[in-house]
Amino acid sequence: MFNLPEDLEQQAIPVVLRPGEFVLFTDQLMHRSIRNTSGRVRLALTLRLTQPSVHIVSSYSPIYSKPVLL
Summarize pLDDT for 15-57 with one digit per residue, the tens.
888 888 988 888 788 787 888 888 888 888 877 777 888 877 7
* 1, pLDDT greater than 60: no
Distance CA 47, CA 22 (A): 14
Task: Name the residue among 23, 25, 22, 56 with its Cα closest to residue 68.
Answer: 56
- For residues 48-67, average pLDDT: 75
- What is the reported pTM? 0.48
